[in-house]
Amino acid sequence: MFGIEDARKEVLAGVEDLTDEQLNREVEEGRWTIAQVLEHLFLIEKEMTRTIEKELAKEDNEPARKKKPIELTLERSGAEREAPEPFQPTSEFMTLAEIKERLDHSRATLMKALHVVEDDAILSQKSAKHPAFGTMDLEQWIEFIGLHERRHLKQIEELKAGL
């Protein structure tokens, strides 16, 4: 659905050969560890799912007027963007098993929220304000999750190269 399953598989395949120590190793001072990148993905998906659930529960909603250029999410110029506070990972040591459990939980919660949608067309008729792109329909919110994960997969590959 909207590329999110493939993106998640790619992310997990990109880290499956790493030890827990490698996942938590700081490659460069001030940059996230791979474990922190993965925790960030969990935090984003968890919050986006809450937003999607909230909007789906509303009787009425304004559809977004136009599609947003969410594919820009994939661009990784040299400058790192700072994640808003609720999406900042902790510095706690996490095992790959713990990270996978969190990611599995957030994905299951998202899929459960979407399971109640009888007609996928409703996703393009409901919208919510995204912090970076403004008002987007829920279809784009879901698609953003996969694009965001692919963006951070590039970051994970950069971090792996420095291990």
> What does the block give as tokens for 38?
């993965």
pLDDT score for 72: 79
Mean pLDDT of 24-33: 96
The mean pLDDT of the chain is 92
pTM check: above 0.75: yes
pLDDT score for 80: 63
pLDDT category, 134, cuts 50, 70, 90?
very high
In Å, what is the CA distance from 47 to each residue of 54, 84, 121? 11, 12, 22
Set out the domains of the chain in order of their start, with CATH numbers: 4-161 (1.20.120.450)
Mean pLDDT of 50-74: 87
pLDDT score for 78: 53
Please count the other Cβ atoms lying within 10 Å of the Cβ belonging to residue 119.
Answer: 7
Q: Which residue has the tokens 């792109």?
A: 133
Report how far residue 37's alpha carbon sits from residue 8's, in angstroms, rounded to the nearest whole number: 13
